[in-house]
Structure 1
Amino acid sequence: MIFSILIANYNNGKFFKQCYDSIISQKYIDWEVIILDDCSTDNSLELINALIKNDCRFKLFENEINSGVGVTKSKLIELANGDICGFLDPDDGISPDALLSSINIFQKDKNTVLTYSKFIKCDENLKPLEVPKMAMQVLNNDPYFFNCPVHIVHFVSFRKDIYLQTEKMNTVMKIAEDQDLYLKMYEKGKVQFINENNYFYRTHSGGISQNENKPKSREYFAKVIFNAMKRRNLKTIHGKTVPEEYTNSAEIYSLLEYQTSIVYRIKKKLKIFVQQVLSK
């Protein structure tokens, strides 16, 4: 089973050495790395090429024009030759167990379409700061699951053949393209949480999902959720009517406010526990 590590790069060549080191330290050895550079204006190509030269496991491609992260990630999946795909940002890293832990689940359970783990928030030098508590197992086969609050986080891996059965990644969603992918895969089968710190997430001023991009990300995420509601033919959610057309993010998030209540969370945990027991 080949694992395709997919890397969308734009001006992050200066961080790539640590990303590269984490890849070649993997315990699972049947992997390839597909890198697609989105017309970087720094010396990314020079730095990346210097590290991966003469290693046929790494393949570097370039966009003809700057296309954005959504388009770049969509192209990466098309370029992948593996059975399993997983995105790794060039400024981040993965633990030595990241690929092996994921592959083990896919090999054992044919119904699992996506896996994810916990991540470690790091400083600009990729030194660990904390492990956010958001990552946890979610309830499967729930039409009202939208990963909001967010529980599916890095390191995410998914079956490429199942992805090809979806509407594929919506490249218009830009900063929320990953959430769009997660929800579409969720609708095709089981997702499984790996209780390991398998992703090292670097925080720095140039991070695409950080700082001034957060409000934009929240807006696009709301559109992703709305599209999922329509895909699932949901007319009402917890007594509230799903709008016919998208107007604003506040309207969408208001439909999900009930999910933060203590009663709801207790019931959800019980359902997840029962689901896990029955699946063993």
Structure 2
Amino acid sequence: MKFSILIANYNNGKFFRSCYDSIIAQSYDNWEAVILDDSSTDDSLKVIKSIIGDDHRFKIFKNESNSGVGITKSKLIELAAGEICGFVDPDDAITPNALKSSIKIFKNQKNVVLTYSKYIKCDENLKEIDIPKNPMPVPNNDPFFFNCPVHIVHFVCFRKDIYETTEKMNTEMKIAEDQDLYLKMYEKGKVKFIDEANYLYRTHPGGISQNDNRPKSREYFSKVIFNAMQRRNLKMINGKTVPSQFSDSKQIYDLLEYQNSIPYRIQKKLRILVQQLFS
């Protein structure tokens, strides 16, 4: 089973050495790394090519013009030759067993369409800060699951053939395109949590979802959730009417406020436990 590591780069060549080192250190060796540069304005391509050298496992492509993360990641999936795909940002890295842990699940559990793990939050030098607690198991087959609060995060891997049956990546998204993908995959089968910290997430001023971009990320995520509600043909959520058109993010998040209550959280944990016992 081949694994396609997908890397969307834009002006992050200076961080790529750590990403590259983590990829070639994988304990699972049936992989390819597909890199698509979104018309970087710095010397990223030159740096990346110099690091890769003549390693045929890495395939490099470039957008003719800056197209945005939605289009770039959509193209990456199209370019992937592997049955399993997973995105790794060029300024981040993965642990040696990241691919192996995911592949093991996909081989043994045919109904799993997506896996995800814990991640390590790092500083700009990729030194560990902490391991966030938000990644955790989620209930499967729940039409009211929207990954809000966010539990499905790095390192996310998915079956390409199942992805092809979805509406695919929303190419208009500039932020939260990953959450859009996760919810579309969730609707096609089971998702599986890997209780390992398999992804090193670098925090730095240029991070696309960090710092000043957080309000924008929240806005885009609300649109992702609304689109999922429409796909699932939901008319009511917890006694409240789902709007037929998107107006503002607050209206969407208010619909899901009940999921933060203690009774709901307890009920959710019980559902997850039952699913784990009988899966």
Structure 2 equivalent of residue 29 of structure 1: 29
Counterparts of 1:45 and 1:121, CA distance in 2: 26
2:211 is aligned with what amino acid? N
Secondary structure of 2:269's aligned partner: helix
Instruction: Describe the superposition over 1:18-74 as per-residue Cα deviations: whole angstroms up to 9, x where unpaired.
Output: 000000000000000000000111110111001112111000000001001111000
Runs of 4 or more, structure 1, over 4 Å off, are none
Structure 1 equivalent of residue 88 of structure 2: 88
Counterparts of 2:252 and 2:181, CA distance in 1: 19
Residues 33 and 58 in structure 2, CA contact (< 8 A), matched pair in contact too: yes
Structure 2 equivalent of residue 20 of structure 1: 20
Structure 1 equivalent of residue 102 of structure 2: 102
Structure 2 equivalent of residue 141 of structure 1: 141
Residues 173 and 224 in structure 1, CA contact (< 8 A), matched pair in contact too: no
Residues 122 and 201 in structure 1, CA contact (< 8 A), matched pair in contact too: yes
Counterparts of 2:173 and 2:63, CA distance in 1: 19
In structure 1, stretches of 5+ residues that fail to align are none
1:240 is aligned with what amino acid? K
Structure 1 equivalent of residue 240 of structure 2: 240
**In the alignment, does 2:163 pair up with 1:163?**
yes
**In the alignment, does 2:180 pair up with 1:180?**
yes
Q: How many residues align?
A: 279
Counterparts of 1:35 and 1:173, CA distance in 2: 19
Which aligned pairs between 1:215-230 and structure 2 lie closer than 5 A?
A: 215-230=215-230
Secondary structure of 2:81's aligned partner: coil
Residues 115 and 194 in structure 2, CA contact (< 8 A), matched pair in contact too: yes
Q: CA deviation at 1:119?
A: 0.4
Residues 69 and 173 in structure 2, CA contact (< 8 A), matched pair in contact too: no
Counterparts of 1:116 and 1:210, CA distance in 2: 21
Instruction: Compute the TM-score of the two structures, normalised by the length of structure 1.
Output: 0.99
Counterparts of 1:195 and 1:97, CA distance in 2: 12
Q: CA deviation at 1:174?
A: 1.6
2:26 is aligned with what amino acid? Q
Instruction: Describe the superposition over 1:231-274 as per-residue Cα deviations: whole angstroms up to 9, x where unpaired.
Output: 00000000000001000000000000000000000000000000
In structure 2, stretches of 5+ residues that fail to align are none
Counterparts of 2:219 and 2:139, CA distance in 1: 25
Secondary structure of 2:183's aligned partner: helix
Counterparts of 1:176 and 1:120, CA distance in 2: 20
Instruction: Describe the superposition over 1:214-233 as per-residue Cα deviations: whole angstroms up to 9, x where unpaired.
Output: 11110010000000000000
CA-atom RMSD in angstroms: 0.4
2:173 is aligned with what amino acid? M
Identity across aligned pairs (percent)?
73
Instruction: Compute the TM-score of the two structures, normalised by the length of structure 2.
Output: 1.00
Q: CA deviation at 1:156?
A: 0.1
Instruction: Describe the superposition over 1:132-173 as per-residue Cα deviations: whole angstroms up to 9, x where unpaired.
Output: 100001000000000000000000000000000000011212
Counterparts of 2:228 and 2:268, CA distance in 1: 20
Structure 1 equivalent of residue 67 of structure 2: 67
2:179 is aligned with what amino acid? Q
1:188 is aligned with what amino acid? K
